[in-house]
Amino acid sequence: MSELRGLQPTLLWSFFDDIRRIPRPSGKEEKVADYLVNFAKQEGLEHKKDDAGNVLIRQPGTPGHEDAQPVVLQAHMDMVCEKNSDKEFDFDNDEIQVLVEDEWVTADGTTLGADNGIGVAAILAVMSDKKCEHGPIEGLFTVDEERGLVGATSISTDWLKGRTLINVDSEDIGIFSIGCAGGSDTHVTLPVKRTDPKGDTVVQIHLSGLRGGHSGIDIHEGRGNALKILNRLLYQLSKNYPVELMSINGGDKHNAIPREAIAKVVMPGNNIKPAEEWLNHALASIREEFHPVEKNIALKVEQINDPAANVLDKQSQRNVIALTFAFPHGPLEMSRTIKDLVETSNNVASIKCNDNEVKFHLSSRSSNDTALQATLDKFEAISAIVGANVHQPPGYPGWMPNLDSNVLQVALDTYKKVTGEDATYEAIHAGLECGLIGEKFEGMDMISIGPTLKHPHSPDEKVHINSVQVFYNHLVKMLEVLA
């Protein structure tokens, strides 16, 4: 029997144990959607599934609360699929391997999927909990949240009856989210030309060991971006040695800070040793610079036996490195109204190098629509300098805080009753589906709560066991009061 099934609350952890066994990358949630539909059928509950794959399950109120106003409980089905480079794992087919370590549940070399599997499990637990008193519940389970809130975008405006929504996708116990940033992506395609190399030896430069993390929640910490650091090293290296760039690649998910990056270059064989010594010396300075937040930056320089292939010509190489340098990463502006809140940021999320083009993916966030647009315009202007093409698909809206919210007051009062402690609230620099849902359903009163979750979107993701119990007890109490 899985260790998870011995944890409290038993119902919630049992459902999470089921969910972690179901592959559910963004855009491939069919199996977990089927699991939810089967749950509804077994419980005899009204349910529906739309063309996008979103699932809605309706449960009547418990005796005496049948006529209460419905409450929407909302979570997303998909998970960010990240793993350590030395971990053999197929996210399309393999079960997440969980580890219980002291007060935490984590995974073995991959993301855990507690974001937002714990939220999905909590909703199912409430619907199965015979001790829970509640009014009518609408369990809304969305797809493809992690790639840009895709599922929430497609929800039909006649789907929900309730006008009180509890999103269960927050990541600090006792700290409720009442607002979030909007966001948008920028896809940059830079045409490149190739030529025969002058050097005779292929060298691979692999930067790794960075923490990565969530490009919204963790962006203020100043964690290193592997692409930006590796590009910086290449820029400086090329000033001292004849370096011909074959490729630079790294990053994957738009909302994950890149943890590692690889460049392949061609050099004269007699330059490899001094270039490696130079790189190690330069990296020592970078390690010192990032030491407060990055303890394990590693660099591996190795000769590749493959014959030297076509390299970028001088102008293309100059453009790739310059463009990577020019695109900013990290906080761009701090909020002028909410202390210590990042207003606008950008994540240089990935670079993919092909034969005739290099593709950049940038992910920007802001709680200020005009600042977000200015950021997107900046990237368009920077790209134009080197003749790169830009595509900026529609983004998603932010969620403006409402301090007069009834569900916020209920959350604060019930948390005090459950724990004896005062809760707090904040707006966050991350995207939540509340922004889109609130835009679709006028008058929706919303809050986001959750247990303590650390390092989402990275293989270090972990959830605090005791906080899950507190989170569930609090959710149950809120539903009782709202009934």
AA letter at 295:
K
- Decide if 413 is catalytic: no
User: What is each CA distance from 249 to 90, 205, 231, 324, in whole angstroms?
Assistant: 21, 11, 10, 12
Asked whether 154 and 141 are in contact (CB, 8 A), the reply is no
Helix locations, 363-459, DSSP H: 369-385, 406-419, 434-440
Of 115, 138, 145, 461, the active-site residue reads 145
Distance between CA atoms of residues 455 and 460, nearest Å: 6
User: What is each CA distance from 205 to 80, 209, 261, 262, 280, in whole angstroms?
Assistant: 26, 13, 8, 6, 11
Helix then strand count (H, E) for the chain reads 11, 23
Radius of gyration from C-alpha coordinates of the chain: 24
- Decide if 145 is catalytic: yes
Distance between CA atoms of residues 180 and 430, nearest Å: 6
Return the residue matching tokens 């599922």.
151
Helix (H) or strand (E) holding 342: strand 342-353
Of 17, 18, 78, 146, the active-site residue reads 78
Contacts for 45 with CB less than 8 Å, ≥ 6 apart = 57, 58, 59, 127
Distance between CA atoms of residues 366 and 346, nearest Å: 9
AA letter at 95:
E
User: What is each CA distance from 433 to 106, 144, 256, 326, in whole angstroms?
Assistant: 25, 11, 18, 31
- Give the torsion sign (CA, 88, 93, 97, 98): positive
User: What is each CA distance from 212 to 120, 170, 427, in whole angstroms?
Assistant: 25, 19, 22
Asked whether 386 and 205 are in contact (CB, 8 A), the reply is no
Which residues belong to the active site? 78, 145
